[in-house]
Structure 1
Amino acid sequence: MDTTLTLLDLCGAVALLLWGIHMVQTGVQRALGPHLRRLLGVALGNRVKALAAGLGVTALLQSSTATGLMVASFAGAGLVAVVPALAVMLGANIGTTLIVQVLSFDVARVAPVLVLVGVILFRRGSEPRTRDLGRAAIGLGLMLMALSRLVEVITPYEDVPALRVLLGAVATDRLIALMLGAVLTWAAHSSVAIVLLVMSFTHAGVLPFEAGMALVLGANLGSALNPVLEGARDGEAAGRRVALGNLLTRAAGCAVALPCLGLIGPLAVTWQPDLSRAVADFHTAFNLVLALVFLPLLGPVSALLRRLVPERIDAHDPGRPIHLDEAALETPPVALGAAGREALRMADVLAEMTAGAGEALTGGDRSKVTEIRRMDDTLDRLNAAIKAYLVRLDPEALSEDDERRIATLIAFTTNLEHAGDILSRNVMTHAAKRLKRGLAFSAEGKAEVEALLARLSANLGAAGAAFLTEDPRAARRLADEKAVFRDLEARATEAHFRRLREASGSTGAGPAEASTLYPDLVRDLKRVNDHLVAGAAYPILESRGALRTSRLEAP
């Protein structure tokens, strides 16, 4: 019975440690996440700045995985090369060791103060950021309490035969210890938690120092496994290269360090007699040496990764750009033409979404809702690829007309993406609601919906033509459609209330309930049309001084 209670006590302390780490990570990420992401993006110019940025961001987030996800998203969108992305990960690996260094000191007495301050900030804070920082303070206090409790639970049981047998197997075989550390870290999704556990076991005398170092090597290896395994099937090749490169550098470091633990151990203990601190110092030193060794070698590592993880060419992937020629970047006019062709592909995708929306709204095919939401993802990917392509143009090689065309391209693609979001999230919500409840538009309402979608499709074609030709007459005709859709919205609201009055005396609620969808639908389709006008017509009219700054009359 005592053994069971002790085991539960131990598991509870480990769970509290994991939850404390989770609270610190989520609190800091919610409070400072956008700023940290911006800082990371700015610092990716060269590998030294990238390493420093990775270290600083991870020291705050206490999650190299979170930093890795940010960098992988940058790399996947083409905004950063693999070399600086790998430099960020080298810095991130060092950053995760800093909290371990802090907690290796006797700071358990600070835990109640941190929890108290965190609760005050969380309960009394008027700003979301203040409450999130309070959450992080509570998490740090819980981590300290958990570590203190772990030492109290472990110490009396260091001589238990079963525990000695298990730890003896770990202590006698470094490879087993490394693999155990990797598996535990992979399962816990936190190298910080595993290293802190190893420190507690070593401090209590339950685990030999050399075995503790092997477990720390495994923790470093295991923390690099999750991004590779989770991104094995999904994600862009550049993002997968970053994850694999981080794993390979750590695996190489473990392969060199593991046979040398017999030499490293006595030196580390001589330098730091406190075994708990010595584990933390070894953890930090391992990642520092990795950074110093591999930072100059990231070029060859990147070349190796390009061979190991080639670009995945899928001819049937509609979200993969087909016109963005890398060689054309040396000639801005050609590159802008390629980006324009890709933007027209976005218009074609939006046209398919509009046609599918008509089938989903007036027919009975539920699969159209899912298909349109999938096409919205295609729009997002094409928009991101076009912007990443334009960013890579040399600013010094751009003329004034090139700069204006870039602004027009960005306005067009951004508004097409927003229009797709409205169709996917709003219009398809109406369609799903109609299908779920078995509602049907009246014959008059169905005809109006079909006419409205037909007009929107025609405007989409006009938007593509205006964008391609930059003809002010086409732009003016498209801009006039805003007034048409405003009138349609007003008439739809009036017709909606008229139908409600007619249905108020009937027993069938279906037509009346279906008619309530119509005004919302018209309003959302009007917003789609507004984005078409803003993306295609307004840039042309504005460049020719034919656009008013306000619709208000002069006083």
Structure 2
Amino acid sequence: MSASILLSMAGGLGLFLFGMRVMSDSIEKVAGAKLRRILEIFTTNRFSGMIVGVVFTGIIQSSSACTAMVVSFVNAGLMNLYQAAGVIFGANIGTTVTSQLVSFNLSAYAPVILLVGVLVAMFCKKDKIKKFADIIIGFGVLFLGLSTMSTSMAGMREVPEVVNLMGSLKTPLVATLMGLVLTTIIQSSSVTVSIVLLLANQDLLSLRISLYIILGCNIGACTTALLASMAGKKDAKRAALIHFWFNVIGTALLYVILFFLEEPVMRMIWAVSSDKGRFVANAHTIIKIFQVIVLFPFSNAIVRLSCLCVPGEDKKVNYRESYQLKYIGDKVVFNPATAVVEVIKELDRMASLASENLTRAMNALVTLDEEDIEEVYEVEKNINFLNHAITDYLVKINQTTLPIEDLKSIGALFHVVNDIERIGDHAENVADAARQRRETGVTMSKEALRELGELLEMVTRLIRYSIDMFARSDESHMKDVIALEDQVDAREKEMQKNHVQRLTRGECSPEAGMMFSDIASGLERVADHATNIAFAVITAEDE
């Protein structure tokens, strides 16, 4: 009898965990890119960051996922610690939405919810609608698991071993440790609180002990973010510690309050609860809101505390010279929701290297400085490394569960990395010309060098416009990019005519003339590649 009950309980827990995972992953696929943009835009101050954290976590049903994403943002330099603190505080309130939903006891509707989800998945062909169907299916499986667990727990009241085990949880410290350990294992405080809610509903756990298990859940919920930050930069570790200290300090304060005012606190929670399940859900929510109200004014102090725990700065790396990725890599725990953002940051850096290298090569063409020429070749090797590394990473993330909008942009990102690499190749071609001038003594007229410098200025401006547009997914300056690209084309044609006239007048040698023509044509092709990058914004949205 007891074995079948335990198996049923385990099966129900499995369904619950699976349903929550499907629902959370599907929500992240459907809305992950939009939610991420909200995180980027509306976290300029701590209060707005806190509101975003509440909404974000309430939607994706996981404070661990939200906090892990924040850690990834901090690691990629997209968010500072003070912004992260606000989001983390809000995430702790948002995570209580799950227990509130569970307390409404919608298990009876689980078959209907599942049927609706399956029908939508079967008869709708659009991927986005199918993802919405996955959300509904996950929701239904979650409540089916709850129903199975609830039925099993009703039978557990007849199993002496279970009753004795639950009865052994008499002291607050043991209950808190139980909550901490369970949440660390399950990696979800929402799941642990939901189990506690069901146990309390079946009178297998007292309300007092349930309260202390919830306190342990708060600390156990920190493990996901701590693990995600272990291989990250120091600021990523500090962000995870902000989450940790928020919950540890909050739990310690509540322990002190409960030591003196346990009965009044329990009566207050019971006054707003209609049954024992609602008591657990409301206790979870009230605890989190209390922690935020008390600790929010001291968020800067908690940030400083996390900095004291992780002192010093990251080792300075000259990313221009070293063959290393700055924003992406296998060492940091992979987060699908931020993967594309990290790639775009890396592409922005790669484009800056290529643009700077083009300018360096053009300077070398004028000065004939051997050190500049050699540096162009060295930086080009780094650009080639970035090309291969970013391409490999794009192949890797294309095989994962990315948000739908991010998945659409992968093809455009492949084209962008190729266009940037081609810009780097043109810089190398100019360096080859500079070396040829240095070794053979080919002279170019001041007028020719001046015209090339003017064309270079237009081209580098176009590169920056295009990269900024792509990084922000902003089409508003597309007309400016097209107009500037047309100007480059017109200027290049005019320069070729001027060049022919100089040859006719004998102002340039044939060797210098060929060199000038090749470089001018190369700069025009660089402008084409830059324009391709700008058009990738539209391509990503249309795919």
TM-score by length of 1: 0.62
2:388 aligned partner: 423
1:266 & 1:420 partners in 2: Cα distance?
A: 64
Secondary structure of the residue aligned to 2:211 is: helix
**Change in 2 beyond 3 A, CA 1:474/1:304:** same
2:249 aligned partner: 252
1:46 aligned partner: 45
1:382 & 1:207 partners in 2: Cα distance?
A: 48
Query: Does the aligned pair in 1 maintain the 2:245–2:302 contact within 8 Å?
Result: no
Query: Does the aligned pair in 1 maintain the 2:157–2:204 contact within 8 Å?
Result: yes
Q: Which amino acid aligns with 1:80?
A: M
**Aligned with 1:231 (options 229, 232, 236):** 229
Q: How does 1:239-388 map to 2 (within 5 A)?
A: 239-261=236-258, 262-263=262-263, 264-314=265-315, 320-322=316-318, 343=320, 345=321, 384=345
Q: How does 1:19-30 map to 2 (within 5 A)?
A: 19-30=18-29
**Change in 2 beyond 3 A, CA 1:143/1:476:** same
Query: Does the aligned pair in 2 maintain the 1:387–1:410 contact within 8 Å?
Result: no
**Change in 2 beyond 3 A, CA 1:550/1:238:** closer
2:93 & 2:245 partners in 1: Cα distance?
A: 16
1:60 aligned partner: 59
Q: Which amino acid aligns with 1:237?
A: K
**Change in 2 beyond 3 A, CA 1:426/1:247:** closer
Q: Which amino acid aligns with 1:128?
A: D
1:105 & 1:3 partners in 2: Cα distance?
A: 28
Displacement after TM superposition at 1:123 (Å): 2.3
1:140 aligned partner: 139
Tell me, yes or no, if structure 1 residue 122 matches structure 2 residue 121: yes
Query: Does the aligned pair in 1 maintain the 2:187–2:223 contact within 8 Å?
Result: no
Displacement after TM superposition at 1:62 (Å): 0.8
Displacement after TM superposition at 1:109 (Å): 2.5
Q: Which amino acid aligns with 1:153?
A: S
**Change in 2 beyond 3 A, CA 1:349/1:104:** closer
Secondary structure of the residue aligned to 1:180 is: helix
Q: How does 1:389-428 map to 2 (within 5 A)?
A: 408=355, 419-420=384-385, 422-424=387-389
**Aligned with 1:207 (options 205, 208, 221):** 205
- For structure 2, the residue ranges without an aligned partner over 5 or more in a row are 331-340, 360-375, 394-421, 435-448, 457-483, 493-523, 530-543
**Aligned with 2:192 (options 191, 194, 205):** 194
Q: CA RMSD in A?
A: 4.2
Which has the larger displacement, 406-415 or 247-256?
406-415
Q: Which amino acid aligns with 1:244?
A: L
Displacement after TM superposition at 1:219 (Å): 1.3
Query: Does the aligned pair in 2 maintain the 1:321–1:385 contact within 8 Å?
Result: no
Displacement after TM superposition at 1:297 (Å): 1.1
2:418 aligned partner: none
**Change in 2 beyond 3 A, CA 1:543/1:471:** farther
1:177 aligned partner: 175
**Change in 2 beyond 3 A, CA 1:550/1:140:** closer
2:324 & 2:239 partners in 1: Cα distance?
A: 31
Query: Does the aligned pair in 2 maintain the 1:462–1:474 contact within 8 Å?
Result: no
Displacement after TM superposition at 1:120 (Å): 2.2
2:53 & 2:221 partners in 1: Cα distance?
A: 16
Secondary structure of the residue aligned to 2:168 is: helix
1:163 & 1:173 partners in 2: Cα distance?
A: 17
Displacement after TM superposition at 1:74 (Å): 1.9
1:78 & 1:59 partners in 2: Cα distance?
A: 25
Secondary structure of the residue aligned to 2:105 is: coil
Counting aligned pairs with the same residue, the percent is 24
Query: Does the aligned pair in 2 maintain the 1:249–1:294 contact within 8 Å?
Result: yes
Query: Does the aligned pair in 2 maintain the 1:466–1:475 contact within 8 Å?
Result: no
- The superposition leaves residues 113-153 of structure 1 with CA deviations (integer Å, 9 ceiling, x where unpaired) of 22122112222232222111211111111111111222211
Query: Does the aligned pair in 1 maintain the 2:71–2:229 contact within 8 Å?
Result: no
Secondary structure of the residue aligned to 1:177 is: helix
Tell me, yes or no, if structure 1 residue 155 matches structure 2 residue 154: yes
- The superposition leaves residues 15-36 of structure 1 with CA deviations (integer Å, 9 ceiling, x where unpaired) of 1111111111111011111111
Query: Does the aligned pair in 2 maintain the 1:268–1:282 contact within 8 Å?
Result: yes
Task: Count the aligned residue pairs.
Answer: 392
1:110 & 1:466 partners in 2: Cα distance?
A: 74
Q: How does 1:541-552 map to 2 (within 5 A)?
A: 542=488, 545-546=491-492, 547=524
Query: Does the aligned pair in 1 maintain the 2:343–2:390 contact within 8 Å?
Result: no
Q: Which amino acid aligns with 2:226?
A: V
Displacement after TM superposition at 1:270 (Å): 3.1
Secondary structure of the residue aligned to 1:44 is: coil
2:22 & 2:347 partners in 1: Cα distance?
A: 37
Secondary structure of the residue aligned to 1:80 is: coil
1:45 & 1:7 partners in 2: Cα distance?
A: 49
**Change in 2 beyond 3 A, CA 1:211/1:456:** closer
2:475 aligned partner: none
1:63 & 1:98 partners in 2: Cα distance?
A: 9
1:29 & 1:302 partners in 2: Cα distance?
A: 28
Q: Which amino acid aligns with 2:70?
A: V
Displacement after TM superposition at 1:279 (Å): 0.5
2:431 & 2:180 partners in 1: Cα distance?
A: 54
Query: Does the aligned pair in 1 maintain the 2:183–2:217 contact within 8 Å?
Result: yes
2:102 & 2:431 partners in 1: Cα distance?
A: 60
Displacement after TM superposition at 1:224 (Å): 1.0
Secondary structure of the residue aligned to 1:78 is: coil
Displacement after TM superposition at 1:471 (Å): 8.1
**Change in 2 beyond 3 A, CA 1:463/1:220:** farther
2:433 & 2:427 partners in 1: Cα distance?
A: 10
TM-score by length of 2: 0.63
Displacement after TM superposition at 1:225 (Å): 1.8
- The superposition leaves residues 294-327 of structure 1 with CA deviations (integer Å, 9 ceiling, x where unpaired) of 222111221222221124543xxxxx544xxxxx
Secondary structure of the residue aligned to 2:43 is: coil
- The superposition leaves residues 176-214 of structure 1 with CA deviations (integer Å, 9 ceiling, x where unpaired) of 111111111111111111111000000011110011111
- The superposition leaves residues 464-511 of structure 1 with CA deviations (integer Å, 9 ceiling, x where unpaired) of 8999xx98749999xxxxxxxxxxxxxxxxxxxxxxxxxxxxxxxxxx
2:403 aligned partner: none
Secondary structure of the residue aligned to 1:287 is: helix
Using CA pairs under 8 Å that are at least 6 residues apart, name the structure with larger relative contact order, 1 or 2. 2
